Chain A
Amino acid sequence: MNRALRKLAVLLLLMAGFWSVPGSAHESQPGLLEIRQLTTERWEIVWRAPIYYGKSHPARLALPADWRPVGEPSVQRLASADLRRQVVTVPPGTLNGSVIGFPGLEQTITDVFVRLARLDGSEASQVVRPSKPEAVLRGERPWHVTAGEYLVLGFHHILLGIDHLLFVLGLLVIVRGNRMLVKTITAFTVAHSITLGLATLGYASVPGPPLNAAIALSILFLGPEMVRVWRGHTSLTIRHPWVVAFCFGLLHGFGFASGLSVVGMPRAEIPLTLAMFNVGVELGQLAFVALILLSYRAMRTLEFRWPRWAELGPAYAIGSLGAYWTIQRTAMMF
């Protein structure tokens, strides 16, 4: 099993460098737009645009033309975002159906959470994606619409998380046998679901920079283990890969939580959105595993034969990428 998988991993890794551009294995932080009612006609707009690869985010906020600004907006530069506050007057009865645009968002991979809070205590939220960079404000939204948005968000989040996918790929190369494969993937899933839940509900938190460095370290860790498999040696990881998958899965769960902003989420919606986001992550992960296993079978059917030394490529590539990200992310902490 491992040999053909290693060949496949070589091909995937050749693409990985470009795949990650501009992702570079960083979590993509979502944007946040809060619209809070102050009086009958006055609303406070808080636009939190994440720093995008070290620069101001290219997306702008385009409010409806009939929303009149009151005073000058305040702009504040935070460590991870630009914060813009503005009070506007909205003609009574016109809020529902208003369209807020985010020109420039379509050039990015950033999702934006939009939260609307009224004086009567009612709240509504939605997710704006780069493929359709606008939010149409409505009152009540059916629960399944919100659920669907968060499911897609989770699915997209794992597809963009090349570091998570590389970790799973490394596990697939190490694991021997279908039973152990199921056990390992399940352990990873259970572990990251636990920490995703804890982090989202606010029971636990890990600062971003050391977390990202630790996630990179988990990828670096798998490189030498893959070499051991190639040499026919054994280790705790090779004998019990599910243990490693579980331990590092706890870290990766905190990473997934960074894609789920609870700041702008109505509290009543947190259980549903958290569950659906996690389901989306799992579906993405299963799709990736299925694609790898199908490709592995196909390569075996076609009897691809590569030089034995080339089979070490994935181990060194995964290890090198892990080392690079570990050094880079550690350096960013200081």
Chain B
Amino acid sequence: MKANRSQFKAAIAFLAPNFLGFLLFTAGPVLFSLGASFTNTNLQQTLPLRFNGIANYSELVRDKAFWLYLVNTLYMMLGLPFAMFGSLWLAVLLNRKLRGISIFRTLLYLPSFASGVAIMILWKALYNPDFGPINETLRHVFSVLNVHADTPQWLQSTHNMVGLDVEKVGLTPKQFGLGARDALILMGVWIAIGGNNMLLYLAALTNVPEELLEAAQLDGASSWRCFVSVTWPQLAPTTFFILVMSIIGGLQGGFETARVMTTGGPAGTTTTLAYFIYSLAFEQFRIGYASAVAWVLFAFVFVATLVNWRFGNRAANEM
């Protein structure tokens, strides 16, 4: 009991600097936005400020744009599993003691160094449908394979891999193909695969006790078997962390790419919820409504994380 009290005091001391900053720069603003979501706060003060209950939230349910952008957001998260497992795979490969391996590590991490804005401008040029290197290569491949197909229009196209409709939530064969959203997914995977997640996995892999691996190898387990039964469970906390962060990032994502590369177009197909919130708040000045959308987005993220948390704890317990 006494130990607990001293631990409590110590906890307060250790937490204090972080907690103060947290209150001031995170919790405070978050509460402010929660409050704002129940008002008609607007930077263009045409109306007196007033509390309007759940009006913003009920508007949102009826707002066609919200649902379209939600679908965009979810669609653009399709790259997450590829990025995650790609990172893991790369980390496993890079964890070998080969000569020159550190050069590969550096090379593969390079995209994460580059300033975001510059990388986006770079990809905009790569995706150029006519002269861009990507389509040049595709055309070359097509002609070698003797395939008669049009190269994708990438950032100029509303097409997508599942045929999402442009103006309403639904599917239509007309939209089937590769378009702006897919281009952004591909770029996202390219940036993420050798990035921070790989680094995290690499750090976690060094934590896997070699005795365990050696013991398994002595038992005659194949390297795949070793990975599944020894390494993977050891990586569980890291995987959990990466999964949570990826989902959070994915749901909140698409803001900078939209701002720098597509301005949310063509025809709003690359507008994600984050960019929607941004344009509501900073272009239309509807802080109240923007806050409501943000809180709904938050609710989605929260539920996703809770589910993960359950799953993550179970995985952690199993190991």
Q: Specify whether A and B are partners.
A: no
Residues on B facing A (Cβ under 8 Å)? none
